[in-house]
Amino acid sequence: MNKPNARSTRAILAQLALCFSGASLAQAPDSASERDFLDELPVVLSASRLVQPLADAPGAVTIIDHELIKTSGARELADLFRLVPGFQVSMAYNSNPVVAYHGLADEYSRHMQVLVDGRSAYSPFFLGSITWNSLRLSLDDIERIEVVRGSNSATYGANAFQGVINIITRHASQSQGAYLSTTHGNQGISDQVLRYGGAMGSMHYRITAGWRSDSGFENFHDSRQTGYVAFRGDMRLSPRDELQLHLDASNDSTGKGFEGRGGDPIRTQHENGYTVQAIWKRALAVDEELSINVYHMRDTGKERFTASDTLTIPPFPPFLLTSQVDANRETSRSHIELQHIFRLDPSARVVWGLEHRHESVTSRLLFNTSKQQSISLQRLFGNLEWRLAPKWLLNAGAMLEKHSFAGTDLAPRLMLNFQPMPGQTLRLGTSTAYRTPSLAEEQAHIAYQINVTPPLPPPFPSTITRTTYLAMGGLKPERIRSGELSYLGEFPKLGVTVDARLFQEHVTRFIDTKRLALLPDRPENFINRWSALVRGHEYQLRWQPSRETLVLLNYARVRINSEDDDIANSAPSHSATLFISQKLPYGLQLSLAHHWIGKYEWLGWSDPLPKHRRLDVRLAMPFRSGPVKGEFALVTQNVQDPYSEFRTDYVFKRRTFATLSLAF
């Protein structure tokens, strides 16, 4: 009776040994054996890694791939979104870029979800905007960016209000070896990137360190310096399991304030932060995957200054008003998410998941207390991709979100794709999505203690408290109900892809400030104030007649109706982009991006911006010297006349910079 047992144990051990020999890396035998035919291999193109074909995508998607990122001439991430129809990009207050889709945005644009390898790039601070400058990313580390035009909370969560920017960085095995690049140009542009990618046991890794700086707009104190380091490790635990690790940290300083404005004096803001993330993925079958994504991020900002003003009450000499402003803050986010992708049957695929998130903000300035404020939320999301018939594909999804102060919302989404013949797709869809108010919108209490010198005569106090923001709370999430009808035409023989989208987006409970007129200082309160009806159509043509040429042509027509004139004017009614990239003899590569943007005005601190044009040109020359592959590129942004970004006095003049990059 013992014998079979011993044998089966040995068989199991032998199989285990086979498993591990299949999984372990870098120990390839020199000559072929049957093991090459029989051993397991890691599941590389797993369900979540496969890019959904555009024809199956539930909505309009613009893909910005590695090649386009390189040839676009973009210096920073935000520049890339100029290539997406319906998008607005500007450099706003203190050199923080703002990116919006179909208007409704101020200097803290917050209606789009931005994900970097599955982590939300939203700052929990203030109104909850994307701090593009603090993303610890080198453009060269990005594999591709999927820009989902239109809301998709069902898949991407609550902030996917008007759209989603999903940034996916390269697998570490794809950036092996050393890489360095240096960029110099006018406006104080000086960017450096150093990267090394290697392998250690069963892990591929890369470490990128970068430094970016420029002097911002002329005549403004808005220079910025960012230093960052980012690590990514991709580890094979077994043929089915992989672990992705991210560790990054940054240190920024930004110029703030204005000459001659005591209330907003010239100063420097220092920010630093880090992120730790682990994603474990298990491929259960060719089209089934389970993943767990855990991350924690923490950011601190240091900004303390004295604001001052004068008060003249004749016949007294002027009084000096000063206030010590403590704008130091600390924010954190912890997130855990489980996702399961599987096939119900050959025609139906399901993605579902659970998420828990905790966010905290400590800011004496924002909340008039040094106590930590926090929120938590739980989400349950799911999407069914169901091929009803060979020509019909239905995507039905929903997200249920429970938010610690905004309550519970259900955001459903339906999209029907009809493919009458290969390459031709019609999409019809509707969705509802929400944006939950930020901590500041719900709880802001901004009050300044003002000292008066010389002291006011009695009975006046020597210090006055002035409250500028007092949020009364009780906000409802902003809601967007949208409908779209779109067409996707793919003509592979001609190298042409056309996307035309007709949309209607109805935004209600739009949050804005309103003064509390009955209170002494008439502080600003946040209320669900406006509604807006955004309608229009947009087009995207991609023509790649050969490997040497790429042409993109975008056009967007956007009309906004709202009881608030500012909102109605917050997007250009016409905007267009023509991008041409052409390979020339001797390996030279030339690209041109020409943008035409109609008049509009951002919300918030912006001015009316007249219609303008912008032409960016890039010329690159690759070279090779032994094992070193290099490229020299010259970029001029806005070759033609200066135009204003965000504010009339933020004049964007011609910017030229040169980049030398070396890989070995």
Partner 1 sequence: MAWASEAAEVAIVLSGRGGAYEEVANAMRNRLDPGIKVSLHDTATLGTLEGSKPDFLVAVGARAAQALASQPARAPLLVTLLPRGAFEQLATGRKRDAPPMSAIFLDQPFVRQMTLVRLALPKAKRVGILLEAGAQPHLNELKAAAMDRQLNIQALRVVQEQDIARTLQQLLPDIDLLLALPEPVIFNAGTIQMILLSAYRQQIPLVGFSAAYTRAGAIVSLYSTPQQIGRQAGDMLRSALSSGRLPAPQPPREYVVSTNPHVARSLGLAIESEQQLLQRLQLLE
Give contact residues for partner 1 (rule: CB under 8 A): 7, 10-11, 14-15, 18, 22-45, 47, 50-53, 56, 66, 143, 171, 173-174, 176, 202, 204, 234, 236, 239, 283, 286-287, 422, 490, 492, 547
CB of 186 to partner 1, least distance (A): 34
Sorted by sequence, the CB contacts under 8 Å of residue 52 that are 6+ apart come out as none
The tokens describing 213, both together, are: 């700086």
CB of 196 or CB of 274, closer to partner 1: 196
Rounded (to 5) percent helix, strand, coil in the chain? 10, 60, 30
CB of 52 to partner 1, least distance (A): 7
CB of 435 to partner 1, least distance (A): 32
Closest CA to 496 of 505, 504, 488: 488
CB of 546 to partner 1, least distance (A): 12
CB of 326 to partner 1, least distance (A): 48
CB of 28 or CB of 517, closer to partner 1: 28
Q: Determine contact, residues 450/464, Cβ cutoff 8 Å.
A: yes
Sorted by sequence, the CB contacts under 8 Å of residue 42 that are 6+ apart come out as 23, 236, 239, 240, 242
CB of 308 to partner 1, least distance (A): 56
Closest CA to 122 of 374, 299, 345: 299
Please tell me the number of Cα atoms within 13 Å of 499 on its side-chain side.
Answer: 23
CB of 350 or CB of 456, closer to partner 1: 350
Measured CA to CA in angstroms, residue 445 lies from 330, 476, 525 at distances of 17, 19, 9
366 backbone φψ class: left, alpha, beta (φ>0; ψ -120 to 50): alpha
Q: How far apart are CA 601 and CA 470, in angstroms?
A: 27
Q: How far apart are CA 300 and CA 129, in angstroms?
A: 15
Residue 390: CB atoms within 10 Å = 8
- List, edge to edge, every strand of the sheet that includes 112-116: 60-65, 142-149, 163-169, 112-116, 119-120
CB of 248 to partner 1, least distance (A): 22
Q: How far apart are CA 82 and CA 595, in angstroms?
A: 8
CB of 384 to partner 1, least distance (A): 17
CB of 14 or CB of 588, closer to partner 1: 14
CB of 235 to partner 1, least distance (A): 11
Mark out the alpha helices in 304-420 (DSSP H runs): 364-367
CB of 112 to partner 1, least distance (A): 25
- Looking only at the bridges linking them, the beta strands covering 643-644 and 651-652 are antiparallel
CB of 42 to partner 1, least distance (A): 6
CB of 52 or CB of 640, closer to partner 1: 52
CB of 314 or CB of 626, closer to partner 1: 626
CB of 312 or CB of 546, closer to partner 1: 546
Q: Determine contact, residues 662/629, Cβ cutoff 8 Å.
A: yes
CB of 25 or CB of 651, closer to partner 1: 25
Measured CA to CA in angstroms, residue 328 lies from 170, 306, 363 at distances of 35, 13, 6
CB of 201 or CB of 461, closer to partner 1: 201
The tokens describing 568, both together, are: 């109605």
CB of 38 or CB of 518, closer to partner 1: 38
CB of 612 to partner 1, least distance (A): 36
CB of 239 or CB of 489, closer to partner 1: 239
The amino acid at residue 107 is: E
**Helix/strand/coil (H/E/C) assignment for every residue in 402-456:** EECCCEEEEEEEEEEEEEEECCEEEEEEEEEEEECCCHHHHHCEEEEEEEEECCC
CB of 23 or CB of 568, closer to partner 1: 23
CB of 38 or CB of 313, closer to partner 1: 38
CB of 419 to partner 1, least distance (A): 12
The amino acid at residue 58 is: P
